[in-house]
Structure 1
């Protein structure tokens, strides 16, 4: 009965805000289209469709707000006006009572609050749909005190989420079966993606582990601060971490008054992003201004402070190499290579004409080069690329969705801090250096050192194995053609010489490639 009532309420909100006009008009069935026309009679639908969708999701509650936020990242699936409106959704809800938070903490640690914290601020400093945060002072076993932030999961979220997710899955199935665009929109895949993100955020141990990994990765960069996790005081529904202080990155006037170099801060943000993506393949995927501060403490002045690690992205080595080649080709305006990479990766059908795809990509990207960030929008470039890609049946890979979202966040931060920041020029040297390390001699020697223990173990046995192999009689299975090679010493010598020359040529090629890339980077060639 509860599910039925909830479904009825969702249907009423959808009709109230005219979502049937937004969704049902693309359905094939004539009866569905007729129902959409009847439902639209007598309503005020003068507001833009994206605004009506955003307001409807806000009316339906925090789970639908979060779904809209995830959906806003799929700009390959949505019209620009709808995606822009969904990006405005704010995950802010009234806090739950402090008594409930305290009860959750005491239940999680099986101790009274006073045995854990010497002080606890009852008024939360932040409240969202999944959890809220309180400041406190942690007392350790030696009597020392640390200023901490305590994140407490909102009670009863698991049940509420599962109920709404069931309804969203059902609606996604309807869209896929009845909508003419159902296959392209992939509604069930989007819901599955949302389900994963949501359940990841419900496990605060997972969030703490992600934060700890990012903290280790960023330790040597000296550009970003990530709070320490106190593992003795972390449970699935409670997370105790180091309290971080700083100025919210959105308060540009305060940063300027504090003496922060905003231009350098903008460049540092780009460096942090590309380091996490291409060096580590593990990046903070929720870098909106609400989760970023800037330290003004003497020892860490001007560094980023990252918060909220419920959503992180990961990339495989193959993903990183493919992306780096794409970015590098874009920066060099080598649109043919970009088109070839799309075909090689399977993003477009194998029979796609590379010259046509190259021409389409050029028409999108060329007008935006050599302009400061104040005059371009990377989001608009991506949007136009997605629209162009549909003609060629390009499928955006799921593992890159979070990367697109984070890249848009980085663009927004850069525009806010330094409108003249040239994102292309800032990123190009970093990517070329990374490519040199991945395909040049450094990678060859690194992999050789990693495999050295295996080779060291194998080499002592090699003469015995080779001798045993050469002593085999033809009736023991020795290939006749190989036996002929062994008997003819001259042919064997030629074969060995060819191998030696090939190895020498390979090493010379690596040296030549390193020299070429070094000259190109240092003398600004290409």
Structure 2
């Protein structure tokens, strides 16, 4: 039954895209080959009467996605972070998805909470408001704890949302397979990989325990960050369908008039929001990947508050070092070093010309440094950089695209607070400090300690591991077997000595 259902779902999808005028726009954005274009238009056109019209004030693609419902809205949001798939123009359009849907009833919210927490809402909360925000996956209510009187935010999943998303994801998988069958050339867009990424993100958001965990980790990382705070998770009142946290009281970061009336220093807030993001990305490798004004407030004491942790970004330590060196190289206008970093990291194939690549990077950086400080954009720099590296054979790196997309959003927030801020001047101390901590002598010692810890765990096994490796890689017996036996004995002894040495010294290094 799943096959016919998926076919009907795709017919409705195509009809909606055709009726809203989005079909051609989307096919152009995907650079779809002729066979796929013909199949899509021919199959969808007769069923246009099945398609929804959507909001005529929105761009066609956004109108179609909103009309199709929550799964498509979330898919559009995720595609807005993948300009490598849909192109820069379409990615920009998809970012304006408001993700505003009609709220579900307060009775349904009460039922979800009762089922998840095992107790009626009235026994836990003395007050429980109507929805204050409704999105594609969940909605938020303001409440007051009966026991302590504390104000909290209660996030509740939409009833039946897991089944609805599962149904649409099945249709997406079916569509990806169909696209690859009808047009082998489309495989370069990796449609199945895109759906797999979408499924992973959505399945994580459908379990609010995972969002609560992300919020808790983020709070642990940032507890000592001056001028920054996060809502505290109430684990006793949270579960798979419900998440409770302290209420974030303050002025929206996007309301300049309210910020001015409250006496907040907007230029200082502008610098802080950018430096906080860079610190989280470089220092921790774990950052809020949806830092728009709607997810940020300013507390009465002037602290920036972040909330909604459904989309978080992660980059490993090695990638952070590479990213920092690239930024630092551009700050110093050392394009040769930036080129070397790309080659050392394996981002650009070794058979490409390093000097030619450095000249291409200069063409990216110099026009930006020639701009007035108010027009300099790190996000644009990274976008131009990806264009150049793609021409030199660099493969798409999803984690860097998400970082670049978030950088653009954070820059927009910072500029809205202070249009005259200098992005490079604000970023430089954060990047320089990270370079000193991660690439200098202290970092080398730290790396040695980490290596020693790992070696210490394997110390007793090193002789056997070395011998097994030598046996596996040994060539046919030489003319003098005794020499081979002596060689193996020597290396086994060396391995044993290393194991003993590391085992003895590692505790002192720790």
Q: TM-score, normalised by structure 1?
A: 0.79
Please give the alpha-carbon distance, in whole angstroms, between the structure 2 residues aligned to 1:390 and 1:480.
47
Question: What are the ranges of 5 or more consecutive residues in structure 1 without an aligned counterpart?
Answer: 460-473, 484-526
Please give the alpha-carbon distance, in whole angstroms, between the structure 2 residues aligned to 1:346 and 1:451.
22
How much has 1:38 moved relative to structure 2? 11
How much has 1:111 moved relative to structure 2? 1.2
How much has 1:282 moved relative to structure 2? 1.1
Q: Which residue number corresponds to residue 17 of structure 1?
A: 20
Higher mean C-alpha deviation, range 417-426 or range 385-394: 385-394
The answer to whether structure 1 residue 80 and structure 2 residue 88 are counterparts is yes
Please give the alpha-carbon distance, in whole angstroms, between the structure 2 residues aligned to 1:389 and 1:449.
35
Q: 1:28-427, aligned counterparts within 5 Å?
A: 28=33, 32-33=37-38, 36=41, 51-121=59-129, 123-140=130-147, 144-178=148-182, 182-296=186-300, 301-369=301-369, 371-372=371-372, 374-427=374-427
How much has 1:95 moved relative to structure 2? 0.4
Are the aligned partners of 1:28 and 1:180 in contact in 2 as well (CA < 8 Å)? Answer: no
User: Using a 3 Å threshold, how does the CA distance of structure 1 residues 179 and 354 change in structure 2: closer, same or farther?
Assistant: farther
How much has 1:172 moved relative to structure 2? 2.8
How much has 1:91 moved relative to structure 2? 0.8
Are the aligned partners of 1:29 and 1:178 in contact in 2 as well (CA < 8 Å)? Answer: no
Higher mean C-alpha deviation, range 243-252 or range 355-364: 355-364
How much has 1:381 moved relative to structure 2? 3.4
Please give the alpha-carbon distance, in whole angstroms, between the structure 2 residues aligned to 1:109 and 1:413.
37
Higher mean C-alpha deviation, range 389-398 or range 267-276: 389-398
Secondary structure, in 3 states, of the residue corresponding to 1:77?
Answer: helix
Q: 1:426-441, aligned counterparts within 5 Å?
A: 426-441=426-441
The one-character-per-residue Cα deviations of 1:7-46 (angstroms, maximum 9, x if unpaired) are 22112112223444345564445585487599899x9xxx
Aligned residues: 456
Q: Which residue number corresponds to residue 509 of structure 1?
A: none
Secondary structure, in 3 states, of the residue corresponding to 2:142?
Answer: strand
Q: Which residue number corresponds to residue 463 of structure 2?
A: none
Please give the alpha-carbon distance, in whole angstroms, between the structure 2 residues aligned to 1:343 and 1:11.
44
**Higher radius of gyration, 1 or 2:** 1
Are the aligned partners of 1:244 and 1:305 in contact in 2 as well (CA < 8 Å)? Answer: yes
Please give the alpha-carbon distance, in whole angstroms, between the structure 1 residues aligned to 2:117 and 2:320.
41
Question: What are the ranges of 5 or more consecutive residues in structure 2 without an aligned counterpart?
Answer: 49-55, 460-481, 492-510
Are the aligned partners of 2:376 and 2:422 in contact in 1 as well (CA < 8 Å)? Answer: no
Q: TM-score, normalised by structure 2?
A: 0.81
Are the aligned partners of 1:270 and 1:410 in contact in 2 as well (CA < 8 Å)? Answer: yes
The one-character-per-residue Cα deviations of 1:97-135 (angstroms, maximum 9, x if unpaired) are 0000001111111112222112212x1111101111111
Q: CA RMSD in A?
A: 3.3
Are the aligned partners of 2:157 and 2:241 in contact in 1 as well (CA < 8 Å)? Answer: yes
How much has 1:341 moved relative to structure 2? 2.4
